[in-house]
Structure 1
């Protein structure tokens, strides 16, 4: 049980580390776009930052499900294997670095849309023929975003290494029945907690982008949200289909919007 609990403690530390990374990304987003949210009082800022963690936790759990399972599975000393822990490390750093890259890149793109980017925006941008042509220009113009992201990933990797498994002493796995039952019960409990966290709580429907306005005004909703969450929750949604029932000529015949008056006063 002692070793199983230590793996749980490692998991908690690592998830808190990702939350810290998302917090830094939110601060970065606010610094670059503060004129759009001014005035923002200190109490309101604390509120949107606190509520934002709920949306952060949802997307963190979804994209880190393999990592979470590898920590809570009751499989004994297999979790101490170097290859096992090596996979956890590189998956953890790579996936979360990509999430933060999306979030921080959108901090600058917000100037053009005044909202968090969704899956539709990313499909439109990456599907454009000009995307690869404009990409080098964006890198040059917004070099500070890239440097900030590299710095955040470096800090993330460094803090991860401080809590590495190799720096912890684990007791041998006991094969007692009590230990096995405890691990199975904890696994079932943590699976339930993971489900609750991923859907954002115990409400009837999982969190969506629109839920942000329940906690603050629409003006501050982009601060509450994070871009990976906005993309994840809008992925696969169908956009409105354009329908044309009448041609422009038919519309003018049925309901003309331009009128010519014979005795119109043209003196002014």
Structure 2
């Protein structure tokens, strides 16, 4: 994709670092045309490691937040700690947070309380909310609508796998929709039909690495260098060229994550 930079808007480089080849992971991403990466916080107890990675590589930014799986042990009841940590220059988003009723590793009440604290932090800082939603579409829509009525905040539904109801509600409040490798899976036809109805100017692309490697790497450890495969499927679904898709999703990322700085010389679309 000459001249068309991609962004991995959601990956977990701290998990990939466990292989001992983080330099290689970042270099392979760069060589694949992935010029910016957002590495995501899942626990405040490990946030310093996430932050250190963002400080180490100029093309990497990070978030601060607590995954719904961790809400019982590390969930935030108030936004103050999130707001304080978000002052670091490398922090460009709040999350990931949200609701996961598939695994229910944490009680639903704890998940929702932490979700609302993250929303308050997003509203206060102006940084976009990074939302995880699994088997909790209706509840996620309810919380987002209730909180948005109390005050606007930007955000994205990451690794979108839900139905059209959550997509429509997210788009209604101005959120972006981010797609991971699942959109390339043979079994994901209903997801692809929903994606076709999402405006190009609201789409982001991600890996969620080390999880959910796209076809043709399904079943292998995912990494940011695989973003172009998911982007190619999205370009096909949106009936645009890979270059157009890359330019649009990259521009969308920097518009949403306004604190992140694009690499010098990067050509951003409208």
The TM-score, its normalising length taken from structure 1, stands at: 0.20
Q: Which structure: larger Rg?
A: 1
More relative contact order, 1 or 2 (CA 8 Å, 6+ apart): 1
The TM-score, its normalising length taken from structure 2, stands at: 0.20
